[in-house]
Structure 1
């Protein structure tokens, strides 16, 4: 398998794994508060990354990343690790996982736009049209069932807005790590940003939930946390960053379409979620938007 095919394969596996994270997270959040759950997940992932780097003899390169480029990796840790997880986890508490995953997939559109603005990747009128079509789909999903005259804000609406913030945070993370993944390699780039996300999650956990020291109340909760740490926070993020180091940021983004498909199937299977007509139509607009946004 040549390098480009391997990169696409890595991106596909990464997105499938991330698609499973919604159901696993929702099950885990039945036992733990959302920010604390994210903190423990990232902490375990950081321990695994450290062991991986130690066994590979790459501590010198990790030290270089921390000393030379710590502002970039800290900002990546704040956006793609801390904020993305916080917004996503809280959104999953209030909103069906299928709906959250569909809103999150719009990071593809945001990545294409940010790649044009900051990485100087080419964008055409057709790409811009795709971005606006996708945004229309997101707005349909977000505002479905929302009554602007009502004093109360529906939980699903609030969750969708949080998911949109998570999507933006992930898009910024992707743009930040594009060049650093090429410079340091996917392992160091992913590990450094993951580790530097811990202080932000710790502060958020203390401020929002009082204590970061609570643990899962059952074996199932602990296994879910371990699964998310190994297969999503470590393996999926590593594969995503590897793909990012080999391909255009906008091209990698198109593969994210697989994520809501996996998440929706698991949402229906585990939680009895329903795919309503507005949700399906919004999804169709998002998918069409991504198709045109990624078209060369």
Structure 2
């Protein structure tokens, strides 16, 4: 079940790359990020207000931790992505996103002293190769995709780093804080942080033409961002990571560029090529390698079950 939750979350975020790339052509990325989290906060606080009030005493004790996670996951990750997508392609952004499992491994190793198994390392390497095969269109020795780095590339690198930090440090969230309340409060904190950022942007560059935002495409795209990447993805991802851990779970982030590519084929009419199919197979093999428990853990689990029975 955790693997299904992580897969769905990653697919919803894959849509975020496509929808986000389309929206930043019309909407200021800071306006987009602020609107996304303001509407998400309104929705989630309406749905989960009772759970938030019940768990507020527990959340108050670890409020600094929740603020830190919200800054990384709800503010920095999408904001830097949307800013970067103004200047670089979603292809490059996907490349940088594919580095997050390796970054999580390093964070877990050096900050949490976690032992990294050879199987996890092999799975990360294999699925990373699959992503690079995808974004290089089957020509991995061709470095032209990296030839024109600009500020957008550095913004999206920052997006990948902030996501890796969020996933790695999600373990410090108290288990007593349930998923619905945590996501709702995180969305509210994201909105609170982004509103003054939006105010500074409007003071500096003036008010945008709001009428140009009030069209079906922008409204529909924003609705997708609120419901899927902002609500369901975070909820499902947090539950999945809590169940199997960041090291094994983060490998599923490789489904984000893969699903983004599939959505591009389905909705943007991008041609489907053989390298899409090859990369999908390699990525899934890497995920399967990381998802399998070690023989030692499997024996330990079986032994515990026999003792219980």
Aligned residues: 281
The answer as to 2:234 corresponding to 1:237 is: yes
Q: Which moved more, 1:184-193 or 1:275-284?
A: 275-284
Instruction: Identify if the C-alpha distance between structure 1 residues 287 and 97 changes in structure 2 by more than 3 Å, giving closer, same or farther.
Output: farther
Matched, 1:95 2:88: yes
Distance in 2, Cα, partners of 1:161 & 1:93: 12
> Residue 43 of structure 2: which of 37, 45, 48 is its match?
48
Comparing 284-293 with 90-99, greater Cα deviation is found at 284-293
Structure 2: give runs of 5+ residues left out of the alignment.
137-141, 295-309
| Aligned counterparts of 2:254 and 2:54: Cα–Cα separation in 1 | 37
1:256 to partner: Cα distance: 1.8
Preserved contact between residue 96 and residue 267 of structure 1 (Cα < 8 Å): no
Stretch deviating more after TM superposition (284-293 or 120-129): 284-293
* In 1: Cα distance, 2:166 partner to 2:149 partner: 29
Contact 1:22 1:97 in 2 (8 A): yes
Tell me if structure 2 keeps the 8 A contact 1:95–1:160: yes
Query: Normalization by structure 1: what TM-score?
Result: 0.78
- Does residue 24 of structure 1 match 2:24? no
Indicate the residue corresponding to 1:80 in structure 2. 73
TM-score (normalised: structure 2): 0.75
Whether the 8 Å CA contact 2:167–2:250 is kept in 1: the answer is no
- Residue of structure 2 equivalent to 1:249: 246
Match of 2:301 in 1: none
For 2:260, the equivalent position in structure 1 comes to: 263
Aligned counterparts, 1:86-165, within 5 A? 86-124=79-117, 127=120, 144-146=144-146, 154-155=149-150, 158-165=151-158
- Which moved further from structure 2: 228-237 or 109-118? 109-118
User: Could you tell me which residue of structure 1 aligns to residue 304 of structure 2?
Assistant: none
CA distance in 2, matches of 1:144, 1:280: 22
Number of the residue aligned with 2:299: none
State the SS of the aligned residue for 1:196. Answer: helix
Structure 2 match to 1:202: 195
Whether contact under 8 Å (2:62, 2:174) holds in the other structure is no
Q: How far apart, CA to CA, are the structure 1 residues paired with 2:275 and 2:242?
A: 37
Q: Which is further off, 23-32 or 207-216?
A: 207-216
